[in-house]
């Protein structure tokens, strides 16, 4: 396993981490059992992964706690709390109807520094640990950023001083902020020890932001690395939309052609290409892999440790998608 240092935290981190959320949620999202999820995490740990990322909204903290109980000191463990829309009006929700549709998410959010402290304590209990390596304010929108600094950052700093959390991070609301407005402010402020950014072949707009964060010595963790690039069929659906909206030329909108190019140049799959592109175009500290399948995880580990894509392949991805910033790649 290749390891890096996670920004100014000094934590030794595997270049690939296990993300316990996303559509899979360690396999729970596709019908897997809690025991299967524990086995998946331990499979990754046995192969050198030491970064595990969860959140209360994922419903996987207890599983993570069970999986790492015998090796907790060796794990870089992170979890998160989501701020409610009351921190920034309806920013990102666009309408009362959309807000109502996400009521379950909203009711799991924290509303104050006191509530955040309670959330940290409950996460510690579920994770069966007495400290969290990186605690993130999760999915923060541009309008929530300033209120978050004023209302909950002091609580996180105090919890850091007590040792319950070691480092403080922030993640963006990528589906609602595809141009990284919030994280641009956070990277320039240099307040947060780690940032989590959405980046992939289909939205390459975060490269300059990640470079700025690294200059501030913040750890950089990538989410959304694969998503729509898991399967050729899902990529084709997305490329058809891009052609229809005039975002790419019709002749370029053939996923089969792209896959053939990959194989011609020794790249075996779209997920491999996606991970290698993230790893070497953005140069993050960690790329998160969300999966419920040990075979997929093993392939992703190999991809993350492979070298850069052949120049002709990375150049093709840049030619096709580098001007797009409205996608998440999670479609």
Query: pLDDT by residue (tens digit) across 206-228?
Result: 999 999 999 999 999 999 999 87
Q: What is the pLDDT of residue 168?
A: 98
Closest CA to 130 of 184, 166, 102, 80: 166
Here the contacts of 246-251 (C-beta below 8 Å, separation 24 or greater) are 247/324, 248/320, 248/321
Cβ-based neighbours of 278, under 8 Å, separated by 6 or more: 199, 200, 222, 225, 284, 287
Q: Residue 52: name the closest of 134, 146, 129 by CA.
A: 134
pLDDT at 274 over 90: yes
The DSSP result for 192-213, as a single string, is -SEEEEE-BTTB-TTHHHHHHH
User: For the segment 30-43, what is each residue's pLDDT rounded down to a tens digit?
Assistant: 999 999 999 999 99
89 has pLDDT over 70 = no
Token pair 């981490």 is found at: 17
Residue pLDDT, tens place only, 153-167: 999 999 999 999 999
pLDDT at 93: 46
Crossing angle (nearest 10°) for helices 255-264 and 232-244 = 130
pLDDT score, position 104: 44
Do residues 97 and 71 make contact, with C-beta atoms less than 8 angstroms apart?
no
Residue spans per domain, the chain: 3-321
Instruction: Single out the residue of 193, 116, 108 nearest to residue 154, CA to CA.
Output: 116
Contact 162, 131 (CB under 8 A): no
pLDDT of 248: 87
Stretch 122-134: mean pLDDT:
97
Position with higher pLDDT, 73 vs 93? 73
Length in residues, the chain: 331
Q: Kindly state which CATH superfamily the domain 3-321 is placed in.
A: NADP-dependent oxidoreductase domain (3.20.20.100)
Q: Known catalytic residue: 58?
A: yes
Contact in structure between 195 and 170 (CB atoms under 8 Å): yes
**288: alpha, beta or left, given left = phi > 0 and alpha = psi -120 to 50?**
beta
As a whole number of angstroms, the distance between CA 303 and CA 52 comes to 18
Q: How far apart are CA 104 and CA 289, in angstroms?
A: 25
Q: Pick the catalytic residue: 3, 30, 58, 145?
A: 58
**Are 155 and 113 in contact, with CB atoms under 8 Å apart?**
yes
β-partners of residue 137 are 81, 170
Cβ proximity of 1 and 49 under 8 Å: yes
CA 153 to CA 91: how far, in whole Å? Answer: 20
DSSP 5: E
Asked if residue 46 has pLDDT above 80, the reply is: yes
């Amino acid at each position: 396993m290749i390891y890096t240092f996670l920004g100014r935290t000094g934590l030794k981190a595997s270049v690939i981490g296990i993300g316990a959320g996303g559509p899979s949620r360690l396999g729970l999202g596709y019908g897997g059992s809690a025991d299967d999820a524990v086995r998946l995490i331990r499979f990754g740990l046995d192969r050198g992964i030491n970064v595990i990322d969860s959140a209360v909204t994922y419903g996987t903290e207890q599983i993570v706690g069970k999986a790492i109980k015998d090796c907790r000191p060796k794990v870089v463990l992170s979890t998160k709390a989501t701020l409610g829309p009351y921190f920034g009006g309806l920013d990102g929700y666009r309408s009362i109807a959309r807000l109502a549709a996400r009521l379950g998410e909203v009711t799991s959010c924290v509303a104050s520094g006191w509530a955040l402290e309670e959330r940290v304590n409950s996460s510690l209990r579920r994770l069966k640990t007495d400290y969290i390596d990186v605690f993130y304010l999760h999915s923060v929108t541009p309008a929530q950023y300033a209120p978050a600094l004023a209302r909950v950052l002091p609580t996180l700093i105090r919890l850091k001083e007590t040792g319950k959390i070691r480092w403080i991070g922030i993640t963006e609301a990528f589906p609602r902020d595809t141009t990284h407005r919030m994280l641009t402010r956070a990277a320039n402020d240099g307040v947060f020890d780690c940032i989590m950014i959405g980046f992939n072949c289909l939205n390459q707009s975060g490269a300059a932001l990640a470079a700025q964060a690294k200059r501030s010595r913040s750890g950089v963790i990538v989410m959304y690395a694969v998503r729509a690039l898991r399967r050729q069929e899902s990529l084709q659906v997305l490329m058809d939309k891009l052609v229809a909206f005039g975002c790419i030329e019709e002749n370029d909108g053939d996923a089969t052609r792209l896959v053939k190019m990959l194989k011609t140049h020794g790249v075996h799959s779209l997920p491999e290409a996606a991970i290698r592109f993230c790893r070497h175009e953005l140069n993050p500290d960690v790329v998160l892999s969300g999966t419920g399948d040990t075979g997929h995880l093993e392939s992703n580990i190999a991809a993350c440790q492979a070298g850069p894509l052949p120049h002709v392949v990375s150049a093709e991805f840049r030619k096709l998608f580098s001007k797009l910033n409205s996608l998440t790649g999670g479609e």
